[in-house]
Structures are given as C-alpha cells and as structure tokens.
Amino acid sequence: MADVVNPKHDLDEAKVRVEGLRNPVATTKPTLPTEITRLTDCDDEDILIPISTSFIPSTYHIYSNHPCNKTISPIPDPTKDRRSGPRISEMKACRKDQKARKASGLPPVEPDPNAFFLHTPYLAFHMPPQILYAGTSKHGTTPTVLIHHSCFWHKYKLQLGPFLSAPDVLDPRGVVSWQHNGGNKKLRKADEHALQGYKVRTWRLWGETGKAYVKSVKKIRQTGDGVDPDVVDKDTKPAHADEVVYLSWTSPFSKHTRRYHFQYRGVDFYWKGTGTVKESRACGWFLRFNHLKLVARVPCVGDGGEDEKSKGEDEWVEICLGKFTSSVAKEKSGTLDLFDPALLRLVEENMPSVLEQFAPGDHEKGRTGLQLSKEEKLLRLKRSTLYQVIVATATCMIASEKEKRHTIIDLLLAAAEQGGGGGGGGG
C-alpha cells in the first residue's frame, strides 16, 4: 500500500497531480483524481478525501417528516435543524400551509427535482419494501428504488429501474399492486427481479397507509361498479426490476462492525464508520460512533516493474466518495455529503455507461459522454441509477446503525435492571 500522508504536513505535499485512476506512472503509487489526497482514517486505513479549495460537495439534509418517512433535501430547514425541533407554532403553520396547498390541488410540499423522499408504507402483518422517490414527496414524483429489509440488518435488497414509474405498478398505498405479483415465495426467491404484490383487504387497521384507496376498493366490491384491482387480467404481464443491488453487512462479529458492502457495475462500494468528521454542536462528541463514509475500492496498476511483478497481484486503493455526519437535532438524522467530482471521475474510468442514461432536460438522447460538458455530466450523474443507489444505501445504513445502537442500549438497560433486581432480592 502506498505511503500515508500526515494531514499535518503542508497540503502541497499531500496533493496528487496525475492524470487518472488507472494510468501507469513511474512508481507503484496509485493514480488519483486531482481533487483527491490521502489521509489516515480513524480505522488506520488508507483513505482518499477531497482537498481542493474550490471543491463543493452536494449536501443533502435528512429530515424526519413522519416516524418512518424521510426527506433528503439539498435545502436546509432551520426549524428542524434546531436541537429541540420545530416549535408548536411552526408545526401549526406548516400543517396550515399543507392544507392550503392540498385545497388548491398542489402537492403538499414545494417540488424539488434534486431532493429525495423515502416512504415507508405500513400494512398490518406484512413488511412491504420502502420506496425511494426522486422528489420531495410521493405525490407527483418518480419512484426509483424498492428497498427490501431482512432480519437483524444482515442484508438489504434494492430493486431499481424505470419499471416502477409504469402505470399501476404501485397503488395509492405505496406498495406493488397484486397484478404485478411475481408468484409465490419460492418463485420470487428463484427470480430476484420478480416483485412481491399485495392484495387490497376489505379491512384495515389504524395507521395503515392508503385509507381512502381501501375504502374506494371496498365500495367497488360492494356495488360492482368498477374494476377490482386484485382481479388479475390474463393479458397482464407482471413487471420486473431492471437491476438488483444487495447491501450486505460484511463482518458482524469483527472489529469492523460498521461496514456494509454493495457492488454496482463491477465496482465495490463500502459504507463504514469514520472518525474524521464530527458534529460541532454541544454533545456532538456522543455521536462519534454515528458518522459514516462511502468509499469505492478500485485496483491500482503500477508500472509493471520487478517489485510489482513480485507481488503477484495489483494493489487496491479506496477512494472516498461521500460522508454522513450525524446530527443532535431531534428531527434531523444528519447531513449527507457526496463528492460529485470524485464520483464522476470514478464513473468515467470504470462505468462510463452510467453517463449514457437519459437525463431530464437533455433532449439529445444520442449524445455520448464524450460530447457532454462537465456540467451536463454532473447532471446525468445526479439523475443516474448509481446516484439513486448511493442515496438508498445511505438510508439503509443510517437506519440500521441507529436501530443497532438502540437495541444495544435496551439490552444494557434490561441487564442493569435484572442485576439490580437480583441484588435487591439477596437482602
């Protein structure tokens, strides 16, 4: 592995001025983007982070607007950034504004194509997948990713592609309709691209999503005036996911417990804990184990000399592509920073097909990545499935780490109570 540069040294000594990730150089040091330097991480691993003073990451603020729903917005909300959350008067004003917009036929919140919305539907006795939307809400926006959870935070299955925006794939409850069910559990397990549909029951428990929709279906079944969504047409072909990505907990029983891995287009990505960022406000020290970083692991090709041949394999290097800084605010999970220039360089070197995806506003679909300006490439990058996968995996990682911390705290409190009860019984 290449030498680690001490961050206390002059930045000029830390800058790496080379042309690309894979171009051979005179030494065995990896070739890196000009926006990247190497620093020592809290885990004593070789990590690359941006150092250019002109480098501005894409910042997303992750807020809770429901016990289970999240808004991932580039625009900060000062009321939710407050440690205690919004005041009662501010919440009343927000609800009043939403009602006024709804009465006018507008979405409940101001649309923002650069934001994301994570919706968690609730169906009693079921565990439907979460849905990541490209927008500020699920109303009038594009669904992009289905996020399936597993027990004990071991694995997350992400189904993505334009199939989600097709008519009737998702019903008003926010789940896959029964017409697009991919078969029984055995068939869906054999075909990872198959979807799991959910029937509309004639009853619902309090808190389930889609109250008005369930009532309308119940009325259709009683009067016969309309089409029952659970009656499958023989000519209907169930939708299938275009791509499937797995986010896996790599080493639950090791010193690297905060490490999750996923692979996209042949490149390995890792979400893991970091100590290089911190919450600057009071009590932020208690969040030191909540912060995360995203790295990509790519091969580093040397000059082919004797030393390189003796190794028998290429050296690997990790490139930092983003970070998550946890927040002490009551209604804010934290801030997600994505280093777009470094991510764009990685895409150009390893998966250029990502930039061939059509971006809204670009009517020349035939243009290749070489014919695009840097601004157009960044726009396509932010509209790409890779960007959606990164945001989706970030929400999975943030939620899983929070749930694990709460579980450990609950176990410790229960053990303390049992210990205290046992000590008292001895008297």
Averaged pLDDT, groups of 10, the chain, 427 residues long:
43 38 38 41 46 67 86 90 82 85 80 91 91 88 91 88 88 92 88 92 88 92 87 84 91 75 93 74 62 88 52 72 86 90 92 74 52 85 93 89 76 79 54
Distance CA 404, CA 387 (A): 26
CB-CB contact of 79 with 34 (8 Å): no
Task: Identify the pLDDT of residue 332.
Answer: 86
36 - beta bridge partners?
50
Helix, strand or coil for residue 81? Answer: helix
Task: Measure Cα distances from 184 to 197, 232, 254 in Å.
Answer: 10, 15, 36
Classified as helix, coil or strand, 71 is: strand
**Within 10 Å of residue 315's Cβ, how many Cβ atoms?**
16
What pLDDT does 52 receive? Answer: 44
Report the chain's C-alpha Rg in angstroms. Answer: 24
pLDDT of amino acid 251:
75
Contact 301, 311 (CB under 8 A): no
Beta carbons within 10 angstroms of residue 10's beta carbon: 7
Residue 409, SS3?
Answer: helix
DSSP 8-state secondary structure symbol assigned to residue 90: H
CA distance 22 to 349: 8
pLDDT score of 5: 43
> Long-range contacts for 273-278 (Cβ within 8 Å, ≥24 apart)?
273/42, 273/43, 274/41, 274/42, 274/43, 274/323, 275/41, 275/42, 275/43, 276/39, 276/41, 276/42, 276/47, 276/49, 276/323, 277/323, 277/325, 278/325
Bridge partners of 248, per DSSP, are 155, 261
pTM, 2 dp: 0.78
- How far is Cα 376 from Cα 355, in angstroms, rounded to an integer? 9
Using CA atoms, how far apart are residues 260 and 391, in angstroms rounded to an integer? 14
Q: How far apart are CA 177 and CA 149, in angstroms?
A: 19
143: nearest Cα among 108, 106, 171, 183: 171
